[in-house]
């Protein structure tokens, strides 16, 4: 083969500086791109073999990533289908380049440049983010001589004959000075593990396989046991407590979506940690940021979703409008609601025990997603001061008998601080009123959402007013004090409470004589 020189056809001479400069913050993705290409090439040779278009030995198909600190190179070697010299011209000089060109064009028109950084599958040319020169040495599975491609990051390239006898491709990166951090073993391994942890072909680095090629989400749910799900959870989050339960997503049509979402155990003081779901595309790690893909309230879940149907090279606003993304979003919401509904029906007691954690998701869902209420209304639980749980319907029935205001509206009483409101709670109990506990961070919003969604129901805090004003039981006591006495009492108390309103009301005989109340609207 004679050495051939050429120029990569492009009108912007300076595409590489642009790639390098603007992808700088995320230049580690070069490894994701090159290793995925190696995976693709490996999958392709397997496919050719399985359909009888390649009858040679497949051999050991491991992909090897190595580095040489002295020579300042990183090499990605696969035993995939390889390329002929003509294929290099076609796939590397033309096709791969069009991806890079598209990136630059997109870059120019995008006003918020951070939006595309790292989202764009720049493909092969992302190598130039870290390398000053790139070599491809490749031998096709077809009967053709091995070839070498070389480019120094300008638009010039060179193709010549190569020595390689084994099928497959080596990509050799001559690392640029400003990217030498990638020649550090630990850095290289960390990036490799980050993007390649679940790639479908074994990846070897430093003589050990760094990935799990068949993670749980690509398996059939019926083949899996609880232990498998828990073990995978531990693999993802080594320090986390066991999850409460999980949902295995498995859709082929009309979009492709797999994954496992876990409900973590959450505490009252939970933090809104939204970086726990990992997004993959065909087992290639893409991002921790699933905003716009997973409904906001479900971003508190943990786990993995994998879909090749999520466009990655687009801006946020485009992503939100994308049909598949919308469908994926509502599919996940539905699956979660179905799962909760099943858990509730199958074992209500267990469901009630987990309500502290589940409730946070459900409440958050109701607050942030208008449609979620309809899916959840039958398993939303209200817990009273005695620890008994009621569904909304059950609770309405309970209130029907004893807790209505003068307009006939059902009045739920609640406490948000059981110890401080103890006197009011016992007052309520004397009247045989039930008191709910709403004491977590979302409850104020949750109460509002419930009042707007559930007909004929309102909630009042136990200390919002005297009971006779909150709930009309026709039990009103007559005030037995004369006008003079009332005045005296009023003045005495005004001295203590300043300018606040002092009211004199008749109470039950054994009730505490004085209480300070704060009306609902004042909070």
Q: Answer yes or no whether residue 120 interacts with ligand ADP by CB under 6 A.
A: no
Q: Which of 16, 27, 37, 197 binds Mg ion (CB under 5 A)?
A: 37
169 binds, among ligand ADP, Mg ion, none (CB under 5 to 8 A by kind): ligand ADP
Q: How far is the CB of 82 from ligand ADP (least distance, A)?
A: 6
The distance between the two most distant Cα atoms of the chain, rounded to a whole number of Å, is: 117
Please give the residue whose beta carbon sits closest to ligand ADP in the complex: 123
Q: Answer yes or no whether residue 196 interacts with ligand ADP by CB under 6 A.
A: no
Q: Which of 93, 151, 155, 169 binds ligand ADP (CB under 6 A)?
A: 169
d(CA 36, CA 32): 6
Q: Answer yes or no whether residue 324 interacts with Mg ion by CB under 5 A.
A: no
Query: Which two three-digit tokens encode residue 64?
Result: 């090897």
Write down how long the chain is.
523
Stretch that binds ligand ADP, among 78-86, 202-210, 379-387, 489-497 (CB under 6 A): 78-86
d(CA 264, CA 298): 11
Q: How many CB atoms lie within 10 A of CB 456?
A: 12
Among candidates 168, 205, 196, which has minimal Cα distance to 74? 205
Q: Where are the alpha helices (DSSP H) in 279-416?
A: 316-321, 323-346, 348-353, 355-368, 372-376, 392-402
Size of the site for Mg ion (CB under 5 A): 2
d(CA 159, CA 352): 68
Stretch that binds Mg ion, among 34-42, 231-239, 378-386, 448-456 (CB under 5 A): 34-42
Stretch that binds Mg ion, among 5-13, 35-43, 177-185, 251-259 (CB under 5 A): 35-43
Q: Which of 91, 237, 255, 270 binds ligand ADP (CB under 6 A)?
A: 91
CA 343 to chain centre: 22
Q: Are strands 457-461 and 257-263 parallel, antiparallel or unpaired?
A: unpaired
Stretch that binds ligand ADP, among 76-84, 220-228, 249-257, 297-305 (CB under 6 A): 76-84
118 binds, among Mg ion, ligand ADP, none (CB under 5 to 8 A by kind): none
Whether cis (ω within 30° of 0) applies to the bond prior to 13 is no
Q: What angle do CA 213, 175, 7 make, to 5 degrees?
A: 100
Q: Answer yes or no whether residue 403 interacts with ligand ADP by CB under 6 A.
A: no
Among candidates 346, 348, 434, 433, which has minimal Cα distance to 385? 434
Q: Are strands 382-383 and 147-151 parallel, antiparallel or unpaired?
A: unpaired
Q: Which of 28, 33, 292, 440 binds ligand ADP (CB under 6 A)?
A: 33
Residues that bind Mg ion (CB under 5 A): 37, 123
Residues that bind ligand ADP (CB under 6 A): 33, 37-38, 40-41, 78, 80-81, 83, 91-92, 95-96, 99, 123-124, 169
């Amino acid at each position: 083969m004679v050495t051939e020189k050429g120029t990569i056809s492009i009108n912007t001479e300076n595409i590489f500086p642009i790639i390098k400069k603007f992808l700088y913050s995320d230049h580690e993705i070069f490894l994701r791109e090159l290793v995925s290409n190696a995976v693709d090439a490996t999958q392709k040779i397997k496919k050719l073999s399985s359909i009888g278009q390649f009858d040679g030995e497949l051999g050991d198909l491991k992909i090897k990533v190595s580095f040489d600190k002295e020579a300042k190179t990183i090499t990605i070697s696969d035993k995939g289908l390889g390329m002929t010299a003509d294929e290099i011209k076609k796939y590397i000089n033309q096709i791969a380049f069009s991806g890079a060109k598209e990136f630059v064009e997109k870059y120019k028109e995008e006003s918020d440049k951070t939006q595309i950084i790292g989202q764009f599958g720049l493909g092969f040319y992302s190598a130039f983010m870290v390398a000053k020169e790139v070599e491809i040495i490749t031998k096709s599975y077809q009967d053709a001589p091995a070839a070498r491609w070389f480019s120094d990051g300008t638009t010039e390239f060179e193709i010549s004959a190569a020595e390689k006898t084994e099928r497959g491709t080596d990509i050799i990166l001559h690392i640029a000075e400003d990217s030498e951090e990638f020649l550090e073993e630990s850095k290289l391994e960390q990036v490799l593990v980050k993007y390649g942890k679940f790639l479908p072909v074994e990846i070897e680095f430093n003589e050990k396989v760094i990935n799990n090629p068949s993670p749980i989400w690509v398996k059939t749910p019926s083949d899996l046991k609880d232990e498998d799900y828990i073990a995978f959870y531990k693999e993802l989050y080594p320090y986390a407590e066991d999850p409460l339960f999980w949902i295995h997503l498995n859709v082929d049509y009309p979009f492709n979506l797999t994954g496992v979402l876990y409900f973590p155990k959450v505490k009252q003081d939970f933090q809104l940690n939204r970086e726990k779901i990992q997004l993959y595309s065909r087992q290639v790690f893409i991002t921790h940021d699933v905003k716009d893909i997973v409904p906001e309230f479900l971003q508190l879940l943990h786990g993995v979703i994998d879909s090749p149907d999520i466009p990655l090279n687009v801006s946020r606003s485009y992503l939100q409008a994308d049909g598949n993304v919308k469908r994926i979003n509502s599919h996940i919401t539905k699956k979660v609601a179905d799962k909760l509904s099943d858990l509730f029906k199958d074992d209500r007691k267990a469901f009630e025990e987990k309500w502290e954690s589940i409730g946070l998701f459900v409440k958050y869902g109701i607050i942030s997603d208008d449609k979620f209420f309809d899916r959840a209304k039958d398993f939303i639980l209200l817990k009273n001061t005695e620890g008994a749980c009621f569904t909304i319907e059950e609770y309405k029935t309970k209130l029907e008998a004893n807790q209505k205001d003068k307009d006939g509206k059902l009045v739920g009483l609640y406490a948000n601080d059981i110890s401080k409101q103890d006197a009011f709670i016992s007052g309520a109990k004397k009247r045989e009123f039930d008191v709910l506990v709403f004491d977590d961070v979302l409850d104020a919003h949750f109460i509002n959402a419930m009042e707007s969604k559930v007909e004929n129901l309102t909630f009042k805090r136990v200390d919002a007013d005297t009971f006779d004003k909150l709930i009309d039981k026709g039990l009103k006591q007559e005030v037995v004090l004369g006008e003079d006495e009332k005045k005296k009492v009023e003045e005495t108390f005004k001295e203590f409470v300043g300018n606040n309103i002092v009211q004199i009301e008749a109470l039950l005989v054994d009730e505490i004589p004085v209480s300070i109340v704060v009306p609902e609207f004042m909070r």
